[in-house]
Chain A
Amino acid sequence: MTIKAKPERKPLISLQNIQKHYGEYHALRGINLEIGEGEFFSLLGPSGCGKTTLLRTIAGFEDIDSGSVMLAGKDMMGVPANKRPTNMVFQSYAIFPHLTVAENVAFGLRKSPLSKVEKAEAAEAALNMVGLSGYGNRAAHALSGGQRQRVALARALVLKPKVLLLDEPLSALDRKMREQMQVELIKLQREVGITFILVTHDQEEALVMSDRIAVMFEGEIAQCDDPEVLYRRPKTKRVADFIGVMNFLPATCRHEGGKKIVNIVGLGETEITEEQCPEGFPEGAATVGFRPETLTILYEGQTPTHREAPAMIEEVVYYGDMTYYDVKFDGVDTPVRLSMRNLFGRDVLEVGTRARISWSPGALVVFG
């Protein structure tokens, strides 16, 4: 079944049953996917899941075994990379070392009908767009990592592609720079309105930047959704585990007079809704998942907004703005993680403290 583009977006890329082997290794196992015009789309997954292969397939660098790639209504079968309306920002940036910044940016304009002056202007405009105005005469080797990345972006965007492909573009940058570039990329994408396809193994990056995320495991798309849906309603345990932190506790499920009841070890019984069970309501043994921020430590005098359970604090991880606590509910061996904002006047609790934990039945996800 093809994953369709959102109804409000015109489909721009259509991938049909894409299969790819590297020798014995099955890299892509039947990808069916539509990506819309102007969408910021992310391919997210662990290394070796086929996300880069899929990106390179769209770019025209991989010969697929079967399936079709349609781009803006045209079949891309047999169309080489240099004739496709896509441009790529490589993981290594691939800034030509023998050319200046301006020559790098203008590299793809050789065949353009523009005059020499117009080409130089277009290159300078592209550099201006990525915040490197006036860097044209610099040698490529004299650039920092962040600057290289901007040059790679300018070099691709100056050609006004229909799709910009980004292969882990931020992985080589330090944390501060990466966070800054994430915001800049979102702004840039809104400004130019081009479809961006980002490959990343960093779930946080994907959540921050994307309109839609496809999570891939072993050459297949496990789930494709909005960041919020993906985070709050992961379809499988594996997706839940890959995106952010998810606590899992064993449970048993049963129907009782038309109600769906789940009995969680250490937390007790609660009723759940159909949509909390992405794999269908499992009769009998099950696993419930819940995010750290859906649990709260109740301080002296606070009353629970939802349900309450006693627990013991096993580990405290202090992050400045946040504190992560690993707590064990009474009668449960596996610790679960919860996160608390360090509000002013609230003390960080110590290991070994007994605490009352508030939890929300509505935030649970139940897997079979």
Chain B
Amino acid sequence: MMTAGEKLRRFFRTDQGVGLLLVSPTALYALLLLAVPLIAIVVISFLTQTGVRDFAPGLSLVNYKEALSDPLYRELMLRSLMVSGSVTVVTVLLAFPIAYFVSFGVKPEQKSLWIFLITIPFWTSYLIRVFLWKVILGYNGVLNSGLKLVGIIDEPLTFILYNVNAVIITLAHAYAPFAILPIFVALEKIDRSYLEASRDLGESRTMTFLRVTLPLAAPGVVAAVLIVFIPTIGDYVTPKLVGGPGGTMIANMIQTQFLRLNNAPLGATLAVLAMLIVAVIAIVFLIVGYRAAGGGKKGGRG
């Protein structure tokens, strides 16, 4: 008869056991720092706060009613969607030519150098990069004083800082490498003989791009869109620092509810709703992207 310890030792020598051992630190981390807080937020969203640390007994949908009926929250949510949508469009549109250039225009042995260069902004903290945009876009910032110096403007431009535009510019810059990399990988995977085949079959460079390169790069573009869209919608630092009152987004309101207004349940409700909206949009987009990439084609081996 084997002892329990013996049995356990044997189990950890099997492939399954080794796999479990390898994944357990990460699994533990995910469980404690992602799953537990997430469940807590969902639970809190159904509570009602009565005092600093007091909650009314029982669960209710009061917070959801308030969150969905108050026009302020709706406006903040829509603005967040608009901002992250704009950031996504701007970032992906700017990232595609860069990824295309590195994949098609750079010598193979220099590609990794280029990718390395693209990641250099990441060496600086995100917070400092946002601050630097403040310095660039500010009333007496680099941009305004530069333009004044060369005589293009007399008065400093005010529409570039402390509003939605500043948020979009800052976020687009911050997320550019996240968009470039998946698109680059997708472009790298395209067998160059497909492009030659298209030329050979009578298509120009432009039509080859539209009929072959773009559809084959679609998975990378879909990945880039999701990678940019999902985190930017909940971005908190950038609107706080460069957004001004008009650039406030949903994450700022969630923070206000939790810390200033002492209404954690409503903050949790807003967080859950924002999460659901992003999830729905992401899923719809994934399906559309999958179809566009030709993944929906029927067929089977035979």
CB distance from A225 to the nearest CB of B (A): 30
Quick one: which of B196, B297, B298, B301 has the most chain A CB within 10 A?
Answer: B297
Number of interface residues of B (CB under 8 A): 26
For the complex, is B271 an interface residue (Cβ under 8 Å from A)?
A: no
For the complex, is B200 an interface residue (Cβ under 8 Å from A)?
A: yes
Known: A96-B212, A111-B202. A139 touches B197 (CB 8 A): no
Residues on B with beta carbons closer than 8 Å to the beta carbon of A142: 299-302
Tell whether, in the assembled complex, residue B201 and residue A107 are in contact, meaning their CB atoms are under 8 Å apart.
yes
For the complex, is A268 an interface residue (Cβ under 8 Å from B)?
A: no
For the complex, is A137 an interface residue (Cβ under 8 Å from B)?
A: yes
Closest B residue, CB atoms, query A167: B193
- B208-222 interface with A by 8 A CB criterion: 211-212, 215-216, 218
For the complex, is A159 an interface residue (Cβ under 8 Å from B)?
A: yes
Tell whether, in the assembled complex, residue A137 and residue B298 are in contact, meaning their CB atoms are under 8 Å apart.
yes
Closest A residue, CB atoms, query B302: A142
Tell whether, in the assembled complex, residue A88 and residue B197 are in contact, meaning their CB atoms are under 8 Å apart.
yes
Closest A residue, CB atoms, query B299: A139
Closest A residue, CB atoms, query B203: A82
Residues on B with beta carbons closer than 8 Å to the beta carbon of A111: 202
Tell whether, in the assembled complex, residue B201 and residue A155 are in contact, meaning their CB atoms are under 8 Å apart.
yes
Residues 158-172 of chain A, each 1 if its beta carbon lies under 8 Å from chain B, else 0: 010000000000000
Closest A residue, CB atoms, query B215: A98
| Size range of the chain A interface in the assembly | 20 to 34
For the complex, is A149 an interface residue (Cβ under 8 Å from B)?
A: no
Quick one: which of B194, B215, B218 has the most chain A CB within 10 A?
Answer: B194
Residues 267-302 of chain B, each 1 if its beta carbon lies under 8 Å from chain A, else 0: 000000000000000000000000001100111111
Other-chain contact of B294, A81, A83, A90, A98 (Cβ < 8 Å)? A98
For the complex, is A80 an interface residue (Cβ under 8 Å from B)?
A: yes
How many A-B pairs fall under 8 Å by CB?
81
Tell whether, in the assembled complex, residue A107 and residue B198 are in contact, meaning their CB atoms are under 8 Å apart.
yes
Other-chain contact of A87, B200, B207, B216, B299 (Cβ < 8 Å)? B200
For the complex, is A362 an interface residue (Cβ under 8 Å from B)?
A: no
Tell whether, in the assembled complex, residue B200 and residue A96 are in contact, meaning their CB atoms are under 8 Å apart.
no
For the complex, is A61 an interface residue (Cβ under 8 Å from B)?
A: yes
For the complex, is A194 an interface residue (Cβ under 8 Å from B)?
A: no
CB distance from A18 to the nearest CB of B (A): 20
For the complex, is A94 an interface residue (Cβ under 8 Å from B)?
A: yes
Residues on B with beta carbons closer than 8 Å to the beta carbon of A193: none
CB distance from B108 to the nearest CB of A (A): 15
Tell whether, in the assembled complex, residue B193 and residue A94 are in contact, meaning their CB atoms are under 8 Å apart.
yes
- Cα–Cα distance between A61 and B197 once the two chains are bound (Å): 10
Known: A94-B193, A99-B294. A108 touches B201 (CB 8 A): yes
- Cα–Cα distance between A96 and B301 once the two chains are bound (Å): 16
- A91-121 interface with B by 8 A CB criterion: 91-92, 94, 96-100, 107-108, 110-111
Tell whether, in the assembled complex, residue B197 and residue A90 are in contact, meaning their CB atoms are under 8 Å apart.
yes
Tell whether, in the assembled complex, residue A137 and residue B299 are in contact, meaning their CB atoms are under 8 Å apart.
yes
For the complex, is B199 an interface residue (Cβ under 8 Å from A)?
A: yes
Tell whether, in the assembled complex, residue B204 and residue A82 are in contact, meaning their CB atoms are under 8 Å apart.
yes
Closest A residue, CB atoms, query B216: A98
Known: A87-B201, A98-B216, A159-B201. A81 touches B196 (CB 8 A): yes
Tell whether, in the assembled complex, residue A82 and residue B197 are in contact, meaning their CB atoms are under 8 Å apart.
no
For the complex, is A138 an interface residue (Cβ under 8 Å from B)?
A: yes
Tell whether, in the assembled complex, residue B200 and residue A82 are in contact, meaning their CB atoms are under 8 Å apart.
yes
For the complex, is A59 an interface residue (Cβ under 8 Å from B)?
A: yes
CB distance from A323 to the nearest CB of B (A): 41
For the complex, is B70 an interface residue (Cβ under 8 Å from A)?
A: no
Tell whether, in the assembled complex, residue B294 and residue A97 are in contact, meaning their CB atoms are under 8 Å apart.
yes
Other-chain contact of A82, B202, B218, B294, B301 (Cβ < 8 Å)? B202
Other-chain contact of B193, A87, A90, A139, A159 (Cβ < 8 Å)? A90
Tell whether, in the assembled complex, residue A94 and residue B300 are in contact, meaning their CB atoms are under 8 Å apart.
no
- Cα–Cα distance between A144 and B198 once the two chains are bound (Å): 21
For the complex, is B191 an interface residue (Cβ under 8 Å from A)?
A: yes
Closest A residue, CB atoms, query B208: A82
Tell whether, in the assembled complex, residue B299 and residue A96 are in contact, meaning their CB atoms are under 8 Å apart.
no
CB distance from B202 to the nearest CB of A (A): 5
Residues 182-202 of chain B, each 1 if its beta carbon lies under 8 Å from chain A, else 0: 000000000101101111111
Closest A residue, CB atoms, query B298: A137
Other-chain contact of B194, A82, A94, A110, A155 (Cβ < 8 Å)? A94
Residues on A with beta carbons closer than 8 Å to the beta carbon of B198: 96, 107
Tell whether, in the assembled complex, residue A94 and residue B203 are in contact, meaning their CB atoms are under 8 Å apart.
no
Residues on A with beta carbons closer than 8 Å to the beta carbon of B294: 97-99
Other-chain contact of B203, A92, A110, A141 (Cβ < 8 Å)? A110
Tell whether, in the assembled complex, residue A138 and residue B201 are in contact, meaning their CB atoms are under 8 Å apart.
no
Known: A91-B193, A94-B197, A107-B211. 18 other contacts (CB 8 A): A81-B199, A82-B204, A94-B191, A96-B197, A96-B212, A97-B216, A98-B216, A99-B297, A107-B203, A108-B201, A110-B202, A110-B203, A110-B207, A138-B299, A141-B299, A142-B302, A144-B301, A159-B201
A-B contact pairs, 9 of them (CB 8 A): A59-B200, A60-B199, A61-B196, A87-B201, A90-B193, A94-B193, A138-B302, A142-B302, A156-B200
Residue positions of A touching B, CB distance < 8 A: 59-61, 80-83, 86-88, 90-92, 94, 96-100, 107-108, 110-111, 137-139, 141-142, 144, 155-156, 159
